[in-house]
Amino acid sequence: MMDGVEQSLVSIDVIALRFGNPEPGQLRFAVAERQAEPYTGQRALPGVLLGAGERLQDAARRAVTTKLGLPDDAILASGQLAVFDEPHRDPRGPTLSVTMWAVITSEDVPMGDITPEWVSWDNPGDLAFDHNRIVADTRPILADSLLWRDEVFTRALTGASFPASYALAVAEELSGARPDPGNLNRTLKSLPGLERTDERVRVSTTGRPSVVWQWSADT
C-alpha cells in the first residue's frame, strides 16, 4: 500500500486474431481453458501479470505463447487496445487490465501442450473474469479505429494480397454488419501502399471471381 491506497496489479490480456484458419474467410480470436485458480477450467483470453520492467508488447507475446501454446514467430504484429479498471474484475484483488491485440499467422504452426479454441465474435461463450465485456468493448475499436486505418494491423490481418471478398468478410466480422461493397472499394482505393491488381480469383463455388488487392512491398 502507498499513502493508504491499495495498489493494483496489471494484467495484460490479449485479443489474438486469426483470419482464414481454421476456416477460409473467417476471422476468429483465441481463448483457452485456464490451468489455475481462479476460474480453473473456464475459457478465457490469454493473459499474464505484467512483470517488473516488462514492456507491454513483450508481455502480450508471453501471454500468447504461454497461455495459447503458440510459438513466438506465429505472432505477426501486436498493439494496445484499451484499459479496463473495474476494481472487482479479478477475485484475487484489484487488477488493472491492459488489453492488447495480436495478429496470428494463418499458416499452420507447431502447437504446444495447450490447444486454443478459435471462437466467433458473436458467440464467444461464457468467458472468465470480465473477458466477455473486454471482447464486446474492443470489437468496435478494432473495426472503427484499426481496420483500414492502422497499416500494421491491417497488413498483418489481410496478408500481402487478398481478394476483395475477404476484405468484406473481415469488415463484417469486426463490425457485425456487412459493409457496402462500393464504400469499401473506395476505402481500399484510398489506402497508401494498397493497389488493385488485374488478377481475379474465385473464392466460392458461386458468384463472380473476386478482384485481388496487393500491398506494396516498400511501404
Per domain, the residue ranges of the chain are 9-139, 151-215
> What pLDDT does 22 receive?
87
Task: Compute the mean pLDDT over every residue in the chain, rounded to the nearest whole number.
Answer: 94
C-alpha cell at 160: 500481402
Looking only at the bridges linking them, the beta strands covering 95-104 and 9-19 are parallel
> What pLDDT does 8 receive?
86
Is residue 219 over pLDDT 60? no
Q: What's the pLDDT band for 204 if we cut at 50, 70, 90?
A: confident
Percent of the chain topping pLDDT 70: 97
Q: What's the pLDDT band for 3 if we cut at 50, 70, 90?
A: low
Percent of the chain topping pLDDT 90: 86
**Would you say domain 9-139 falls under CATH 3.90.79.10?**
yes
C-alpha cell at 182: 462500393
**Would you say domain 151-215 falls under CATH 1.10.10?**
yes
pLDDT digits (tens, 9 = 90+) for 105-130: 999 998 888 889 999 999 999 999 99
Average pLDDT over residues 46-75: 97
Q: What's the pLDDT band for 156 if we cut at 50, 70, 90?
A: very high
Q: What's the pLDDT band for 207 if we cut at 50, 70, 90?
A: confident
Is residue 4 over pLDDT 80? no
Type of residue numbered 203: V
Any idea what DSSP says for residue 73? G
Q: What's the pLDDT band for 2 if we cut at 50, 70, 90?
A: low
Q: How many CB atoms lie within 10 A of CB 190?
A: 9
> What pLDDT does 5 receive?
64
Q: What is the pTM of this model?
A: 0.94
DSSP string of 188-218, one letter each residue: HHHSTTEEEEEEEE--SSSSPPEEEEEE-TT
Signed CA dihedral, 214, 155, 21, 137: sign only = negative
Q: How many CB atoms lie within 10 A of CB 156?
A: 21
